[in-house]
Amino acid sequence: MSTTVHSHPTTTVTSQSLFVLTNGIEIVTFDSSSQEKRLRVELADGRHFQINERLATVLTILQEPSTVVELAAAFHERTTERVAVDQLQTLCEQLVGQGLVRIEGAPVEPPKPVTPKAYLGMHFRRTILRTEWLAPLARLFQDLFRWKLAIPVIAILVVSHLLAYRELSLQPDLKFELFTGPLLTICLLFSIFLHELGHVAACQRWHCPHGPLGFGLYFSMPVFYVDVTQAWRLNRRQRAAVDLGGVYLQMLCVPLALLLYWWTGNA
């Protein structure tokens, strides 16, 4: 995740300064393998942070304007832990710098969307299918992520792979006479589209928001992409399904290709 620290107008901070949680921030539970409880903070500008329970308690207290002295007292009341006022002062100043907390009465800058210069090395990003068009299409495949359908589908995929290896061997003598130019491009694009649709279908299965389908250049390679950042709100099993959903749906090309091979006899 690329993190941009926004500059804020210079404001004199004193022990009487009132700190308050920035508008538009959400604190949500994060399911992880850590034995310590973890949470996520989501900002209105699209950034998100993973935090521990103690910091979440501080941010929760700061939903109401508080001085560091009041913050220390409220933190002790909720956790029975004592934290030095000067440490909380430093922490609050750092949180202000990250845009998580603001100083009551200080000028407020509207949130700015984070637009990193490089998103996983991707450039020239363009939307090709808006979310409102992509979502209904993905919902057609969301039931493939229910066990009652996933198990037979996975079985079909396994059998079709074994049959393909039996028919073509591990080192097939491929013939591309009828599979060049536009036809090859269309098949590749269809396969890549299925991959991205798999991620989105998994999001739809668990009612997780997602972005539009986009096109970009990953270094010099053309790719499709979908923003599924909100999948971090899901539990670990569901996040794994979103991650694997692309490969899962893309593998449907194997039985389709096998049927095409049986029909045409062209490997």
Q: Alpha-carbon distance 94 to 96, whole Å?
A: 5
Sheet of 221-226, strand order? 122-129, 213-218, 221-226
Question: What pLDDT score was predicted for residue 191?
Answer: 92
Q: Which two tokens stand for residue 117?
A: 């210069």
Question: What pLDDT score was predicted for residue 115?
Answer: 54
Q: In the chain, what percentage of residues exceed pLDDT 70?
A: 83
Question: What pLDDT score was predicted for residue 64?
Answer: 94
Question: What pLDDT score was predicted for residue 8?
Answer: 47
Q: What is the pLDDT of residues 178-233, one digit of tens each?
A: 556 677 788 888 999 999 999 999 999 999 999 999 998 887 788 899 999 899 99
Q: Alpha-carbon distance 133 to 139, whole Å?
A: 11
Q: How confident is the model at residue 111 (pLDDT cuts 50, 70, 90)?
A: low
In the chain, the domains with their CATH numbers are 19-103 (3.90.930.60), 122-264 (no CATH)
Predicted TM-score (pTM) of the model is: 0.76
Q: What is the pLDDT of residues 37-85, one digit of tens each?
A: 899 999 888 888 899 999 999 999 999 999 999 999 999 999 999 999 9
**84 versus 113: which is more confidently predicted?**
84
Q: Is pLDDT at 169 greater than 80 in this prediction?
A: no
Q: Alpha-carbon distance 50 to 29, whole Å?
A: 10
Mean pLDDT of the chain: 85
Q: How confident is the model at residue 174 (pLDDT cuts 50, 70, 90)?
A: low
| β-strand partners of 122 | 119, 218
Q: Alpha-carbon distance 134 to 142, whole Å?
A: 12
Question: What pLDDT score was predicted for residue 180?
Answer: 63
Q: Alpha-carbon distance 260 to 154, whole Å?
A: 20
Q: Is pLDDT at 10 greater than 60 in this prediction?
A: no
Q: Alpha-carbon distance 258 to 267, whole Å?
A: 9
Q: Is pLDDT at 6 greater than 60 in this prediction?
A: no
**55 versus 164: which is more confidently predicted?**
55
